[in-house]
Amino acid sequence: MPGYTGGTTKDPSYEQVSGGNTGYVESIKIEYDPSVISFDDLLLVFFHTHDPTTRNRQGDDVGVQYQSSIFYLDNEQKKIAEDLIKELNVSKAYDKPVITDIRPFDVFYPAEDYHKDYYKNHPDQAYCQIVIAPKLEHLEKRFSALMVK
Q: Give the Cα separation of 77 and 98 in Å (integer).
A: 17
The CATH H-level superfamily of 2-112 is Peptide methionine sulphoxide reductase MsrA (3.30.1060.10)
Residues for the chain: how many in total?
Answer: 149
What is the model's pTM?
0.88
Domain ranges of the chain: 2-112, 117-149
pLDDT digits (tens, 9 = 90+) for 17-60: 999 989 999 999 999 999 999 999 999 999 988 899 999 998 88
User: What is each CA distance from 90 to 67, 95, 116, in whole angstroms?
Assistant: 22, 11, 37
Q: Give the Cα separation of 53 and 59 in Å (integer).
A: 11
**Residue 120 class from Cβ within 10 Å (0-12 exposed, 13-18 middle, 19+ buried)?**
exposed
